[in-house]
């Protein structure tokens, strides 16, 4: 075999003074980077295989290890970046599509970081969340335009029956990550945390393992183009059903779970043969148009007796506002929009990094378009794709989202270090893997606790920020772009976002 032109991406430094040759690193690396010796007190590392996941660094009891990106690599070139050269070398060797995991890591503008929040001064007292209630309770689902009230004497009789709603205690939902792409323990952590924190997690397109049926009240199940694991009980046990049309990390293409990952439990959950590839087609082959979507929406509504909301998830693409409007009119109670920075377990790198638009712009345009058409109340807006902090959450809500999905942030909460190697199935953190040696590494009791803590911390921070603005209910911030100002953006960008420049008053 010809020698590879690639050289290691990472540099592993082992401090000999500190290394006690305990071999924890050896035992923890699924990529066999470190090698110990039975006879001598030494450990050596083979950097070619290192993915930079930092598992060994984290567990080393003497802090003897450092794993860094190699900077002294290719000759600097403004046009030919390292990633181009690496990509070409790899493709010249393999002849294949470059795969990757997690969300787009390119330096496209992150608009959250160009938006600043407001606070009260003098004319309007800020509210102290430690002393006064501040409400984050959010209901997702179709809202009637008006309440049909009939008065019997002085008593109101409501004739409007509220459409089914999802009630959230905190406007953050764990986004679609299938059992298959993530481990059983990772899914269990999400489901238990969702229940404890009063929110939801999304099954992804991989069906629902029977163990998770008891969590149905806190699970949104997905119906994707592969229809994996979709059956009557699956739809009925859930709190809501989401039809997945597209995903921000890979708009326009389907998913692929390699047969090696299709274990006995996954085959049982997805209702597919053991070790067979699970391939989701690019489109739903029964949805070639918006009117076909409407049929599926209502077919599902029939199946669940109109008792739960039906969501439709689309990727943020150029014409997203018009598409979202069509989706609303097709009967979706919730529209989910996933931006270019949305994560994935596996996607072609060229798609992940080049297709779609940032969620901030898509959200601003969809919210505005639906309002202009007078149909904003027909659907709630859930957004996904690169929410990293409570500040991103509150800015998304001020731009017009009803709630946000977090995927990557939740996984990071579970230990993910964004090595982007989810597609290899060798996740050293026990998250994106089905290898029983690795899945054990994620104790769902710890996972649940960490995720609940994360949501709790974000909720506190959101309340602090709301209180600072003098707002004590999240609905008063929703779509309230007066509380946002832009820094460092062009007029066009401000106008797309519907946000004034910092310094402009009311």
Partner 1 sequence: MKHIKIHEEYCIGCRLCEINCLVKHSHTGKIIKAFKEESPRAFPRIRVEEEGCLSFALQCRHCEDAPCVENCMTGAMRRDKENATVLCDEEKCVGCWMCIMSCPCGVIKREKKTRRIASKCDLCGGVDEPVCVAHCPNEALTYE
Partner 2 sequence: MRDPFRIPSGCAVSGILNLDGTHVSGEKIIRSIEVMHERSNGLGGGFAAYGIYPEYAELYAFHVLYDDPLTAKDVEAILKRSCTIEHSEEIPCKETENIQNWPVFKRYFLRYRGRSDCEDDEVVRMVMEVNSGIHGAYIVSSGKNMGVFKGVGYPEDIGKLFQLEEYQGYCWIAHGRFPTNSAGWWGGAHPFGLLSWSVVHNGEISSYGINRRYLQNFGYVCNLQTDTEVITYLVDLLVRKHNIRIPYLGAVFASPFWEQIEKMEEPKKEFFTSLRTIYGGALLNGPFSIIVGFPGGMFGMVDRIKLRPMLAAWKDSTFFLSSEECAIREIAPSLDRLVALRAGEVISERVGERNSHGQKLTVSGV
Nearest to 356 by CA among 282, 492, 253: 253
Which residues of this chain interact with partner 1, rule CB under 8 A?
A: 17-18, 20-24, 27-28, 41, 59, 61-62, 430, 435-437, 440-443, 445-446
CA distances from 478 to 171, 481, 484 (A): 11, 8, 11
Task: Report if residue 422 touches partner 2, rule: CB under 8 A.
Answer: no
Task: Report if residue 449 touches partner 2, rule: CB under 8 A.
Answer: no
Indicate which of partner 2, partner 1, none lies near residue 109 (CB less than 5 to 8 Å, by partner kind).
Answer: none
Indicate which of partner 2, partner 1, none lies near residue 117 (CB less than 5 to 8 Å, by partner kind).
Answer: none
Min separation Cβ 362 and partner 2, Å: 18
* Tokens 């832009």, located at residue: 486
Closer by beta carbon to partner 2, 1 or else 122:
122
Closer by beta carbon to partner 2, 25 or else 466:
466
Indicate which of partner 2, partner 1, none lies near residue 445 (CB less than 5 to 8 Å, by partner kind).
Answer: partner 1
Min separation Cβ 437 and partner 1, Å: 4
Residues 115 to 134 in contact with partner 2, rule: CB under 8 A: 120, 122-125, 127, 132-133
Task: Report if residue 149 touches partner 2, rule: CB under 8 A.
Answer: yes
CB atoms within 10 A of CB 184: 22
Closer by beta carbon to partner 1, 18 or else 318:
18
Nearest to 247 by CA among 224, 231, 270: 224
Indicate which of partner 1, partner 2, none lies near residue 107 (CB less than 5 to 8 Å, by partner kind).
Answer: none
Closer by beta carbon to partner 1, 304 or else 442:
442
CA pseudo-torsion sign 416, 419, 420, 423: negative
Contact stretch for partner 2 (CB under 8 A) within 53-61, 146-154, 219-227, 276-284: 146-154
The CA-based angle 397-459-387, given to 5 degrees, is 50
CB atoms within 10 A of CB 468: 18
CA distances from 95 to 92, 256, 284, 424, 499 (A): 6, 18, 29, 18, 46
CA distances from 366 to 48, 144, 315, 326, 498 (A): 45, 19, 12, 11, 11
* Tokens 């075999």, located at residue: 1
CA distances from 130 to 94, 461, 467, 473 (A): 59, 12, 10, 15
Residues 476 to 495 in contact with partner 2, rule: CB under 8 A: 476-483
Closer by beta carbon to partner 2, 376 or else 463:
376
Cα dihedral 381→382→384→386 (10° resolution): 80
Min separation Cβ 235 and partner 2, Å: 24
Task: Report if residue 137 touches partner 2, rule: CB under 8 A.
Answer: yes
Residues engaged in binding partner 2 (CB under 8 A): 120, 122-125, 127, 132-133, 135, 137, 139, 143-149, 151, 156-158, 160, 162, 165, 371-372, 374, 376-377, 469-473, 475-483, 505-506
């Amino acid at each position: 075999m010809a020698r590879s032109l690639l050289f290691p991406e990472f540099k592993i430094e082992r401090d000999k003074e500190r290394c006690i040759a305990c071999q924890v690193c050896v035992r923890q690396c699924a990529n066999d980077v470190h090698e110990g010796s039975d006879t001598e007190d030494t450990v050596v590392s083979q950097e070619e295989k290192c993915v930079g996941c930092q598992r060994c660094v984290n567990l080393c009891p003497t802090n003897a290890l450092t794993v860094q990106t190699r900077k002294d690599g290719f000759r600097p070139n403004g046009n030919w970046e390292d990633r181009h050269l690496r990509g070409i070398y790899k493709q010249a060797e393999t002849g294949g599509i470059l795969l990757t995991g997690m969300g787009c890591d390119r330096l496209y503008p992150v608009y959250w970081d160009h938006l600043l929040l407001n606070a009260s001064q003098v004319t309007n007292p800020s509210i102290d969340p430690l002393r006064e209630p501040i409400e984050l309770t959010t209901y997702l689902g179709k809202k009637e335009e008006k309440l049909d009230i009939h008065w019997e004497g002085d008593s109101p009789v409501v004739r409007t029956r509220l459409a089914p709603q999802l009630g959230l205690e905190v406007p953050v939902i764990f986004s679609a990550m299938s059992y298959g792409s993530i481990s059983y323990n990772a899914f269990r952590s999400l489901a238990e945390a969702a229940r404890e924190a009063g929110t939801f997690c999304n099954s992804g397109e991989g069906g629902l393992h029977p163990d998770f049926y008891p969590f149905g009240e806190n699970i949104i199940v997905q119906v994707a183009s592969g229809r994996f694991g979709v059956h009557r009980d699956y739809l009925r046990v859930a709190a809501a059903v989401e039809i997945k049309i597209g995903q921000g990390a890979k708009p326009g293409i389907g998913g692929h779970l390699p047969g090696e990952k299709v274990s006995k439990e996954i085959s049982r959950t997805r209702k597919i043969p053991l070790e067979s590839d699970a391939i989701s087609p690019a489109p739903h082959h029964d949805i070639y148009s918006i009117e076909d979507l409407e049929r599926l929406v209502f077919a599902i509504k029939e199946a669940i007796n109109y008792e739960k909301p039906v969501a439709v998830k689309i990727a943020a693409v150029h014409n997203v506002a018009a598409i979202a409007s069509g989706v609303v009119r097709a009967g979706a109670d919730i529209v989910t929009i996933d931006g270019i920075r949305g994560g994935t377990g596996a996607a072609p790198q060229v798609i992940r990094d080049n297709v779609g638009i940032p969620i901030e712009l898509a959200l601003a345009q969809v919210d505005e378009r639906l309002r202009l058409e007078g149909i904003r109340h027909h659907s709630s807006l859930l957004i996904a794709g690169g929410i990293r902090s409570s500040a991103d959450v509150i800015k998304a809500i001020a731009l017009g989202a009803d709630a946000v999905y977090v995927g990557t942030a939740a996984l990071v909460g579970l230990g993910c270090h964004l090595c982007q190697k989810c597609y290899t199935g060798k996740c050293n953190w026990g998250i994106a893997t089905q290898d029983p040696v690795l899945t054990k590494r994620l104790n769902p009791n710890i996972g649940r606790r960490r995720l609940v803590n994360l949501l709790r911390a974000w909720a506190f921070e959101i309340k602090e920020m709301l209180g600072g603005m003098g707002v004590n209910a999240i609905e008063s911030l929703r779509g309230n772009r007066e509380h946002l100002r832009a820094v460092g953006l062009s007029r066009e960008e401000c106008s797309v976002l519907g946000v004034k420049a910092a310094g402009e008053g009311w």
